[in-house]
Amino acid sequence: MTKVYIVGAGPGDVELITLKGLRAIKEADVILYDRLLNEELLTYAKPGAELVFCGKLPNRHAMIQEHINESLVRYAKEGKVVTRLKGGDPFVFGRGAEEAAVLADENIPFEIVPGVTSGIAAPAYAGIPVTHRDLSGSFAIVTGHRQAGKDDDLKWESLVNIETLAVYMGVKNLPYIVSQLRRFGKSPQTPVALIHWGTYDKQRTVTGTLETIERIVDEEGIENPSMIIVGEVVRMREKIAWFNEQSVLQTALK
């Protein structure tokens, strides 16, 4: 029976995919998969399944979004079971809602399979809880990379009142993010962490403050994909870091 599964594959560690997501991989006749995805998951595909790479780089796309949408519709109308495999969660900066809307317009049955998002998983692997009874009772996820002309849409004056911020895709815009947070009242001593390739064996973490983090990131060569975590919860890393990182980069928060 024709169906499209829009599946969140999790942040990288293959064991973080859900049972339902794994079943969707195993049942698929066609899997359309993204770049920031642990390709070990594709080894669970059934023999003969067609694997279609849809990876996107900032300035180069293997398949533009319109073609991805068209492919989902075409394969489904051919009577195939299709799994759209996306890193993290499909509804957290994953354009899963756009793909689902196209399928709905075409009256194609689909299911959304949530995934573990990197804004929670990457800091957890770095020993950083996004909430904490004593340190943070509020948590927000924020895009660090807006569409052209929309950089100022974010309400930074409101975001500074959130105790923990998880910023996705923000390394390139780190100076702007830091400047906006400081402009609207975040203390320069607010702790910040960047987690590179979170939950993978090659994970690396650097910590600093809003005053020092730009220099640290530049010195250590931290690039995307990285999660940026802003808030006092970053200090918990000193006590509960548990994951055996390939290169643990410690920076004093004092």
Q: Annotated catalytic sites, by residue? A: 34, 56, 169
Q: Distance between CA atoms of 98 and 145, rounded to whole angstroms?
A: 18
Task: Provide DSSP, 148-182.
Answer: TT-GGGS-HHHHTTSSEEEEES-STTHHHHHHHHH
Beta-carbon count within 10 A of 111 CB: 13
The SS3 call for residue 131 is coil
The residue behind tokens 């709905």 is 104
3-state SS, one letter per residue, for 55-123: CEECCEECCCHHHHHHHHHHHHHCCCEEEEEECECCCCCCCHHHHHHHHHHCCCCEEEECCCCHHHHHH
- Give the pair of three-digit tokens for residue 244: 């055996």
> Cβ distance 96 to 6 under 8 Å?
yes
The SS3 call for residue 237 is helix
